[in-house]
Each structure stands twice: as structure tokens, then as C-alpha cells.
């Protein structure tokens, strides 16, 4: 890995005395597809928000492509980092294509009108997320899953170098789960974009991500290829379950079968 | 048998003294006035039996009887408890305080409410009614006669003169139309009431547009620093009013508030003051 | 282009409203006299207007109608901005404390006697307290450089409640019934007796502020469509945006409310109606709301002046009378829609 895209050093985040992240150190390089896994409250969302500069660390620092994140303007960050957090809110009836086009905002001046190139980028993003048919529909009429794909398309339109995804498959049906992650993987391979996805579905994570970062209670517990990270011992200690982990030759990921909840509570590593 | 007779007489006196007097019979000894109009009238009719007057009686801006009121020790407003505490046998109160009035009646007090305020004839009737209630009808008749005499004298002086078109104008655009005391005042003082001519009845608002369109010859405003401070100058400075004849000819008169709102025999003074403004030539040399 | 068409229609509507309003009033003035009063010096044109008619049209109706347009436009535009900022279609200038602040300022100015000093001291006091209230709300809600919208709402509620209580307290103390009546009239909103002076007082802050607000159309789109976090992830500097929007909105509404009194429903209603017609894109919505609000208030003021021959209705009452049925209509529509879905 050459120059890392994102560096996180000694970062901690405290919410009124309770730590959400404790001394996290990691780097993400271009072209990596990283899965961020861990139980609820592990700090995955916090880490993603830190990387998108939506949150400032109470200790430590982050760098984006060599520049201190704290010093960059929100706009400068938005030109390189896209975050797909929740489905786009649906209070106002903007048409889908307009919401997707908003992804170009960080790249345009305040009064610059949309260019033909912006149009094309947006169109491609909608094609990738399979929402071209919805282009003219107001976003208020869409289901949660459809809005999720709109958010994804919007992020693609930003043409980021780092794509952050927080539970991107949460509201999607299996077909769209696969398609979305496949899109991301393709973009990663074709453009050298880095992607970090917080995922609950461990099997999907193992299938699409070349690297998994397992978090628990605010710290990084394991970091490496899926087979090394998702061991039954880890699953027991972090998730509190007894499970069987087997490589799946058809998906080239892992098959994880949860057998039962373990007797002890999950313990910290 | 003188002893039993004495006892009998004593008994009768005691019974008479402790029995509540029949309403219509007794001449009230403790009169309470809760309204400036009745303050002014009662102070002229029965000051010796008046025990309380309204709080407004001491305010020179609205009261014509500040001096006379000094002889009355107690001040009162529309507060039922306070009034009852004074043990009155006659209460005179404005009709708008109907809650207090009905409370007092329920407690067995004799209450006269004042309502209407619609003409000088009404004022005369009020003086008579209060004179009757207070047991001095003769004095009331005399007061009315005096008032009429003063009015007659004014009417005489302005009789032959052309009547200027007069508009009264107060804060928030209120004017006096037909069926108001001021309407009569204007007429007797030798003017023509613009508001009445426009069909306005009672005290109503009039828009500035209507003021301009009516183009009165004279405008009468009520001058009171405390009650309508700054209003007159604000009105006169309004650029839209420059074309109005009254403003151009500088015939915008002020009468003190107490003259404008009085509803007692003092209305004669209002008529005299207004007539002197409208027809100065007729009153030149008169000690006004 | 859709935008040009919508705005064009609204400009025409405004012009028509203004003409109609100039032609009508409590005193009938024939159309040719109105024209004559307005275009006095066109050579060769033979039009007649009496000085009285000229005074009515030029000194009473014209400043009042223009003022109605400026006030209505500013209130509607501010409402649209706040609805986008709070992502709440129920937002209007009252939630940032402007109405209660202006009310208190005005009542205080009158009851303390300050209003007598100069004709502009009452509007000035109203403006000062109105903008001060927004500033206070902002400070109360800001912690560690962040201003959560929920905190703004709560601070707004709290401060408005406090100011309303203080205002009622002052009103209750008033012994002077005439002034009390006048204050109540002010609180119900109205443009009676307003002249060129009042227009001069507000036109600069209102128009300049409104133009400034239109600059933020794109940011508001981002906020409305993506939420606060979404907008930030697209590069919007949220704290700065909130500060600017609050400040300028407070300036604009504070200025107009200080001369018109508190008028409700314009900031709430007009953006809704415009959104129904023109969509949620703030690049159209903001200028369209201004134009729509201007027409609306010009016509509402016309009704207030001419509906009853005996007296003038309060402007706030007219806007409420129109606003309430409109909201019932919206409720019906919403219910029908959610039942169908």
C-alpha cells in the first residue's frame, strides 16, 4: 500500500464522560474494500462519522490524503469523501434525479449551473443503483429501500475517493443487497476508490470485503482478511454466540451458522 | 300609664331603626358614586350625603369637579367588596360594570346604573333620575334649568351664523356620530356634525380616506397628555391630511378631555367652549 | 423553463393585486382619478384628480399597498426559509421568537412612554427586542459551537412563552383604556395609518435581507432533501449556514413586524401553497414565496379596509380567517393521501 488515504491515530471520542471510541489506530489505502463489523454500540458509526468530518475527535487526529482533517473545510472533505448514512429523508417532494444530482454540489461553485457532465455522472449513478425508472418520482413516494438506493446513487455522484457506508443493506431486499455491494466493489476495482462499509450481515461482509475490521466497545479488536478475523472464538467473545464458520466456495466468502447464544456474556478482548 | 307608652315608643323606634328601609321610601344617607358623570351630578345635588366618588374625580384631565371632590373623603372604583364595605344605601354605577352592579343588587343594595350617553336630553333625564333617587328632585330641576339657560344663550348667539362642518377625531380613528352627546353639542354650538351626515351612529371608527373625502371645515380633537399623548401632533403631521380644509385653515381645535367626555350638567361648558372656537366673533368680548 | 413561467405568473399576479388595491378603499375614487394621481406629469394627457383624491391615493393607499407587499413578501420568504432549515413544513417566523419579541418591544415602548419620543421609536423598540430574542434563542441553543435544531425549537418555545407572559402582564397593568385598545390592535396586526415613513423604515432591511436569503436556495435544497447530516456530508458548512439564516431571517421579519404588528399565517401558508404549485426547489420557492406573500397580503389588506363599511378589520384576523380553512383543506388532502397509501 502506498500513501494511505485515511489515517486514524490515537483517536478517541467521548460523549459526556462515556467513551464511544477508545484510542483507535488504523489506515485505509486506496482501492481497499473494508468491512467494519461489530455488535451494536461498538463504535462503527462513530468511526465513519469521524472520517466524514461530521464529528470531531476529543483526542487524537485524522488525516485525509496526507492533510489534517481538522484543517479541511467541509466542502473540501465532501469532494473526496461520501457518506451514505441513512435513507434520504422524505419531508419534501424533491424528484429523485434532483436528489441524486445534489451529489455534485461539492464540486460546483455557488452559482454555477449544472453542466452536461454533471448530468451524465448522475445518470450513470442511477443506472448503477437501478433507479432510472424512479428518476422523476418525488422522493416522498418511495419505499425505504428505494430511498436507500437513492442515497447510494447520490454518493456515487460525488465521485469520492473514499466511500463510507453505514448499514447500506439494511432496508434492501436480497437482490438489491447484492447489486449494491457489487456496484461498490466494481467502483473500487475500476477507479481505485476506497470503501468502508459498516455491515451487520457478516456473510456479505466476508464475501465482498477483502479486509474486515472488527470493533467492540470502542476499540479495534481485529483487523485483517475475513478468515482471520471471523473465527469462532472471536464470534463468541465479541458477539456472544456459538457459531460455525466455514469457507463458502460458491460465494468465495464465509458461511457463518449461528448455533446458539453462549452461556457467558460477551467479554472484552 | 306613661311608662308602657315610653317603652312602646322606644320599641317602635328600635324596630324602625333596625328594619331595612323600604327601597322607594327612604332618602339615602350614604351615597356612593362609581362613575364620573354621577360624581359630577351628585356633587352638585347632594354633596352632604355623598360618601364616596370614583377614582377619576381627582384627575383634572377628565373631571370637572376636582375641587368639589376634595370634600368627599373616600375614593372607589368598580370593586364590589370595597363598595359593600362602605355600607351605602344608594350606589350609582356605569352600565358597563354590570357584573358588579348585579352583585350589589343581589346583596340587597339599591343600585342605579347609567346607560345610554346618547344626547343632551338624556343628560337632563339623568340629572332628574339621580335627583329623584337621592331625594332632591327640586334641586335637580333647578340644575337642569340652569343648564338649559346656558345652552339657550349659546344658541342665541350662533343662531344666524353659517354652520361649519365639524368632525371629531380621536385615537384609533374614533368619531362621534348621531345619538351621541357630542352630536348635540356640535349642533347647539353652531356646527354641523360631519360624522352624522355620513350616517355614522354612535362612536365609530372612520378611515383617513373618509376624513379626506369628507373634507371638514373644522376638526375637534380631545387634548389629554395622559390619555392620548402625542396623538394630535401625529395626526396633524400626516402628509395625506394636508389637503383637508380644516388642516389647511388651521381649524383643528382641542378641547380638554374632561369637556369631551362629560355627561353631566357640565356639558354646558363644553358647548360654550366649542361655540367659542367655531364662532369666535360671536363670543368676542365675552368673558370665556 | 418552469421557473421563469412560475415567477412570471406571480409577478403578474402581484401587479394586478397592487392595481386592484389602489383602486379600492373606504372612499370610492374613480379609476381615472387614481391614474391621474399616480402619473401626474405626463404631457398631453388630460386626467383630473382633486387634491383630496391625490392625497388619498398617493399618501394613504400607495405607501400602504407597497408596505403590504413588502411585509407579505418578507414574511412568506422567511417562512419558506425556516421551513427548509428546520425541515418542518409547520415552521414560521414565530418559532424563532420574532412575534413575541416584537410584541413585547411594542407594548413596552407604548406603556413606558418611549413611543412618544419620535414616530420611529415604537418600530425601533419592536425591532430591537425581536432580533434580540432570536439572538438570545441562538445563544441558548448553541453549545460547543453546535446548534442543534431541536434545541433552537425548544429555546424558541421557552422564550416566546416568557415574553408572552411579560407582554400580558404589561397589558394587564394598563389603566389607559384607549392605549390598551391601540395596543391590542397592534398585536392583531394592521397597516392602518402607515405612511411613507414606515415604508422608508423597513424597505432597505426587508428587501436587502430577502435578496440575501435567496442566495441560500441551494443550501436549503440540500438541507431539505438530505437532512442536516446529509447536507454536511455534501459540503455544507452547517453552523455557518444556521447562523446566517437565523440572523438574516430575524433581521427581515423583525423589520417588517415592527411596523405591521404581528400577522400570522402568511409565513406558514404562502410557502405551502407555493410548494404545492411549484415544487420544493428553493431556487423557485424562495422568490415565488416572496411574490406570493406580497400579493396575498396586499389583497388581505384590501379586504381588511373594505369588507366592513363601519370599521377596519385587523389584518391578522383576515389572514387567520383565510389561513384556517386553508389548513383544514391541507389536512383533508393529507388524510386522503395517507388513507389511499
Looking at beta carbons, which residues of chain B come within 8 Å of C56?
A: 209, 212-213, 240
Query: Which chain A positions have a beta carbon within 8 Å of C89's beta carbon?
Result: 91-92
Cβ separation A74–C230 shorter than 8 A = no
Question: Cα B253 vs. chain centroid, distance in angstroms?
Answer: 20
Give the C-alpha distances (Å, rounded to integers) separating C285 from B254, C205, C289, C291, C304.
53, 21, 6, 10, 27
Closest CA to C236 of C255, C258, C257, C218: C218
User: And the C-alpha cell for C22?
Assistant: 389602489
Q: How far apart are CA C85 and CA C250, in angstroms?
A: 14
Q: What is the pLDDT of residues C196-232, one digit of tens each?
A: 888 998 999 999 999 999 999 999 999 999 988 999 9
Indicate the pLDDT class of residue B286, thresholds 50, 70 and 90: low
Are C224 and A91 in contact (CB < 8 Å)? yes
Q: What are phi and psi of C80, to 5 degrees?
A: -60, -45
Using the predicted structure, report yes or no on whether residue A265 has a pLDDT greater than 90: no
Which tens digit of pLDDT belongs to each residue from A30-68? 999 999 999 988 889 999 999 999 988 888 889 998 889
Whether the per-residue pLDDT at B242 is higher than 90: the answer is no
Structural contact between residues A215 and A47, judged by C-beta atoms closer than 8 angstroms: yes
Grid look-up 420611529 returns C120
In C111-150, the residues whose Cβ lies within 8 Å of chain B are 113, 115-116, 119
User: For A3-12, A58-67, A101-110, which range has the lowest pLDDT when averaged over its residues?
Assistant: A3-12
Residue A98 has pLDDT above 90, yes or no: yes
- Read off the pLDDT of each residue in C289-296 and give the average, rounded to a whole number: 96
pLDDT value, residue B24: 53
Q: Among candidates A196, A173, A174, which has minimal Cα distance to A184?
A: A196
Average pLDDT in the C123-146 region?
91
Grid look-up 474486515 returns: A212
Q: Average per-residue pLDDT in chain B? A: 88
Q: Cβ separation of C182 and B234 shorter than 8 Å?
A: no
Which residues from C are below 8 Å from A75, CB to CB?
Answer: 235, 237
User: Does C116 have pLDDT greater than 90?
Assistant: no
Taking only the tens place, the pLDDT of each residue in A167-214 is: 988 888 899 889 889 999 999 999 989 999 999 889 999 999 999 999
pLDDT at C330: 77
Of C211 and C278, the one with more pLDDT: C211
Neighbours of chain C (3+ CB pairs under 8 A): A, B
| DSSP at A140 | G
Q: What is the mean pLDDT of chain C?
A: 88
Q: Is the pLDDT of residue A269 over 50?
A: no
Q: To probe the interface with A, which of C225, C281, C334, C340 has the most A CB atoms within 10 Å?
A: C225
All residues of chain C having their beta carbon less than 8 Å from the beta carbon of residue A110 are: 215, 218
pLDDT for A264 equals: 65
- Asked whether the predicted pLDDT for residue B1 surpasses 80, the reply is no
Selected residue of A16, A45, A46, A91 to mutate for chain C interface (largest C Cβ count, 10 A)? A91
Are C176 and B215 within 8 A, CB to CB?
no
CA dist C62 and B144 (Å) reads 52
CA B121, B123, B126, B130 dihedral sign is negative
Find the helix packing angle between B137-158 and B36-45, rounded to 10°: 110
Q: What is the pLDDT of residue A208?
A: 93
For residue C120, count other CB atoms closer than 10 A to its CB: 16
Over chain A, what is the mean pLDDT? 88
Residue A156 near residue A164, CB atoms below 8 Å: no
Considering only CB atoms, B243 lies closest to which of C51, C193, C312, namely C51
- For position C339, what pLDDT does the model report? 62
- CA separation for the pair C335, B245 (Å, rounded): 60
Chain A contacts in chain C segment 164-223 (CB below 8 A):
215, 218, 221-222
CA distance C81 to chain A (A): 13
Write the pLDDT tens digit of every residue in B185-225: 999 999 999 999 999 999 898 988 999 999 999 999 987 76
β-pairing verdict for A253-261 and B31-33: unpaired
Q: Does residue A75 have a pLDDT over 70?
A: yes
pLDDT tens column, B112-140: 999 989 999 999 999 999 999 999 999 99
- pLDDT of res. C112: 87
pLDDT at position B70: 94
pLDDT of A1 strictly over 50 = no
Among B94, B174, B209, pick the best mutation site for testing chain C contact (most C Cβ within 10 A).
B209
C4 against B34, higher pLDDT: B34
Q: What is the pLDDT of residue A186?
A: 92
- First and final C-alpha spacing in chain B: 70
Indicate the range of B22-31, B239-248, C40-49 predicted with least confidence. C40-49
What are the pLDDT digits (tens) for A218-240?
899 999 999 999 999 998 888 88
SS3 C72: helix
Q: How do residues B75-84 score in pLDDT, each as one tens digit?
A: 998 888 889 9
Do the strands B50-54 and B74-76 form a parallel or antiparallel pair, or are they unpaired? parallel
> Is the predicted pLDDT of residue B21 greater than 70, yes or no?
no
Say whether residue C168 is in contact with chain B using an 8 A CB cutoff. Answer: no
Chain B residues in contact with C179 by the CB 8 A cut-off are 171, 227-228
How many other C-beta atoms lie within 10 A of the C-beta of residue B25? 7
Question: Nearest by CB to C26, which of B210, B215, B230?
Answer: B210
- Neighboring chains of B (3 or more beta-carbon pairs < 8 A): C
Cell 451494536 found at: A40
Interface mutation vs chain A, best among C221, C233, C289, most A CBs within 10 Å:
C233
How far A203 CA sits from the closest chain C CA (Å)? Answer: 28
Global pTM reads: 0.83
CB contact under 8 A, A99 and C233: no
Instruction: Kindly state whether B205 is in contact with chain C, defined as any CB-CB distance less than 8 angstroms.
Output: yes
Q: How far apart are CA C18 and CA B217, in angstroms?
A: 33
Mean pLDDT across B47-66: 92
Amino acid at each position: 500500500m502506498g500513501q494511505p488515504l485515511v489515517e486514524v491515530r490515537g483517536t478517541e471520542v467521548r460523549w459526556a464522560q462515556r467513551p464511544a471510541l477508545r484510542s483507535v489506530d488504523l489506515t485505509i489505502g486506496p482501492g481497499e474494500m473494508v468491512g467494519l463489523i461489530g455488535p451494536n454500540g461498538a463504535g462503527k458509526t462513530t468511526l465513519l462519522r469521524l472520517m466524514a468530518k461530521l464529528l470531531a475527535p476529543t483526542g487524537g487526529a485524522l488525516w485525509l490524503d496526507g492533510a489534517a482533517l481538522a484543517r479541511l473545510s467541509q466542502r473540501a472533505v465532501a469532494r473526496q469523501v461520501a457518506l451514505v448514512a441513512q435513507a434520504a429523508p422524505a419531508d419534501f417532494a424533491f424528484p429523485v434525479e434532483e436528489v441524486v444530482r445534489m451529489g455534485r454540489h461539492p464540486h460546483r461553485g455557488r452559482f454555477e449551473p449544472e453542466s452536461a457532465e454533471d448530468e451524465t455522472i448522475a445518470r450513470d449513478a442511477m443506472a448503477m443503483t437501478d433507479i432510472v425508472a424512479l428518476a422523476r418520482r418525488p422522493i416522498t413516494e418511495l419505499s425505504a429501500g428505494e430511498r436507500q438506493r437513492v442515497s447510494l446513487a447520490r454518493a456515487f455522484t460525488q465521485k469520492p475517493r473514499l466511500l463510507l457506508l453505514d448499514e447500506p443493506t439494511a432496508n434492501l431486499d436480497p437482490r438489491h443487497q447484492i447489486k449494491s455491494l457489487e456496484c461498490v466493489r466494481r467502483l473500487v476495482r475500476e477507479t481505485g476508490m476506497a470503501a468502508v462499509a459498516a455491515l451487520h450481515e457478516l456473510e456479505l461482509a466476508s464475501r465482498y470485503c477483502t479486509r474486515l475490521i472488527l470493533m467492540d466497545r470502542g476499540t479495534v479488536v481485529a483487523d485483517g482478511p475475513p478468515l482471520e478475523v471471523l473465527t469462532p472464538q472471536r464470534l463468541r467473545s465479541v458477539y456472544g454466540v456459538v457459531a460455525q464458520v466455514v469457507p463458502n466456495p460458491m460465494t468465495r466468502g464465509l458461511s457463518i451458522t449461528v448455533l446458539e447464544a453462549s452461556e457467558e456474556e460477551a467479554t472484552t478482548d | 300609664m306613661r311608662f308602657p307608652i315610653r317603652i312602646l315608643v322606644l320599641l317602635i323606634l328600635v324596630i324602625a331603626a333596625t328594619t331595612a328601609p323600604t327601597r322607594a321610601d327612604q332618602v339615602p344617607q350614604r351615597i356612593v358614586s362609581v362613575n364620573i358623570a354621577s360624581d359630577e351630578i351628585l356633587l352638585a345635588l347632594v354633596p352632604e350625603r355623598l360618601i364616596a366618588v370614583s377614582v377619576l374625580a381627582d384627575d383634572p384631565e377628565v373631571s370637572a369637579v376636582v375641587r368639589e371632590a376634595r370634600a368627599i373623603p373616600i375614593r372607589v372604583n368598580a370593586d364590589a367588596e370595597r363598595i359593600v364595605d362602605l355600607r351605602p344605601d344608594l350606589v350609582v354605577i356605569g352600565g358597563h360594570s354590570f357584573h358588579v352592579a348585579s352583585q350589589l343588587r343581589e346583596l340587597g343594595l339599591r343600585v342605579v346604573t347609567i346607560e345610554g350617553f346618547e344626547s343632551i336630553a338624556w343628560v337632563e333625564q339623568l340629572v332628574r333620575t339621580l335627583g329623584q333617587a337621592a331625594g332632591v328632585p327640586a334641586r335637580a330641576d333647578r340644575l337642569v334649568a340652569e343648564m338649559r339657560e346656558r345652552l339657550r344663550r349659546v344658541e342665541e348667539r350662533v343662531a344666524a351664523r353659517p354652520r361649519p362642518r365639524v368632525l371629531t377625531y380621536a385615537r384609533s380613528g374614533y368619531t362621534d356620530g348621531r345619538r351621541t352627546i357630542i352630536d348635540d353639542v356640535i349642533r347647539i354650538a353652531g356646527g354641523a356634525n360631519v360624522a352624522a351626515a355620513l350616517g355614522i351612529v354612535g362612536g365609530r371608527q372612520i378611515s383617513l380616506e373618509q376624513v379626506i373625502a369628507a373634507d371638514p371645515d373644522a376638526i375637534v380633537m380631545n387634548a389629554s397628555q395622559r390619555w392620548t399623548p402625542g396623538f394630535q401632533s401625529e395626526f396633524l403631521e400626516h402628509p395625506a391630511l394636508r389637503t383637508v380644509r380644516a388642516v389647511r385653515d388651521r381649524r383643528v381645535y382641542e378641547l380638554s378631555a374632561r369637556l369631551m367626555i362629560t355627561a353631566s350638567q357640565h356639558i354646558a361648558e363644553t358647548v360654550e367652549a366649542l361655540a367659542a372656537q367655531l364662532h369666535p366673533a360671536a363670543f368676542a368680548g365675552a368673558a370665556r | 423553463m418552469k421557473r421563469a413561467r412560475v415567477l412570471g405568473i406571480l409577478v403578474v399576479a402581484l401587479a394586478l393585486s397592487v392595481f386592484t388595491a389602489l383602486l379600492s378603499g373606504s372612499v370610492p375614487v374613480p379609476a381615472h382619478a387614481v391614474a391621474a394621481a399616480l402619473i401626474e406629469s405626463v404631457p398631453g394627457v388630460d386626467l383630473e384628480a382633486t387634491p383630496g383624491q391625490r392625497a388619498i391615493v398617493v399618501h394613504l393607499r400607495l405607501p400602504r399597498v407597497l408596505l403590504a407587499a413588502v411585509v407579505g413578501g418578507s414574511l412568506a420568504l422567511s417562512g419558506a426559509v425556516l421551513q427548509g432549515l428546520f425541515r418542518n413544513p409547520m415552521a414560521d417566523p414565530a418559532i424563532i421568537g420574532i412575534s413575541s419579541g416584537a410584541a413585547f418591544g411594542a407594548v413596552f415602548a407604548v406603556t413606558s412612554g418611549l413611543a412618544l419620543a419620535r414616530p420611529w421609536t415604537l418600530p425601533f423598540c419592536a425591532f430591537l427586542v425581536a432580533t434580540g430574542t432570536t439572538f438570545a434563542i441562538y445563544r441558548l441553543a448553541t453549545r460547543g459551537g453546535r446548534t442543534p435544531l431541536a434545541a433552537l425549537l425548544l429555546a424558541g418555545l421557552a422564550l416566546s412563552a416568557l415574553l408572552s407572559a411579560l407582554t400580558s402582564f404589561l397589558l394587564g397593568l394598563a389603566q389607559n383604556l384607549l392605549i390598551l385598545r391601540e395596543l391590542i390592535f397592534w398585536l392583531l396586526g394592521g397597516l392602518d395609518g402607515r405612511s411613507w415613513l414606515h415604508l422608508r423604515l423597513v424597505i432597505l432591511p426587508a428587501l436587502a435581507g430577502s435578496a440575501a436569503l435567496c442566495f441560500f436556495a441551494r443550501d436549503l435544497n440540500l438541507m431539505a432533501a438530505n437532512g442536516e447530516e446529509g447536507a454536511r456530508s455534501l459540503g455544507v458548512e452547517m453552523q455557518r449556514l444556521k447562523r446566517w439564516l437565523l440572523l438574516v431571517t430575524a433581521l427581515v421579519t423583525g423589520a417588517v413586524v415592527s411596523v405591521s404588528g404581528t400577522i400570522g399565517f402568511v409565513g406558514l401558508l404562502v410557502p405551502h401553497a407555493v410548494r404545492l404549485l411549484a415544487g420544493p426547489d428553493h431556487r423557485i420557492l424562495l422568490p415565488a414565496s416572496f411574490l406570493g406573500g406580497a400579493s396575498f397580503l396586499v389583497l388581505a389588506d384590501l379586504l381588511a379596509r373594505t369588507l366592513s363599511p363601519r370599521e377596519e378589520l385587523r389584518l391578522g384576523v383576515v389572514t387567520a380567517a383565510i389561513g384556517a380553512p386553508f389548513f383544514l383543506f391541507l389536512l383533508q388532502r393529507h388524510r386522503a393521501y395517507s388513507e389511499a397509501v
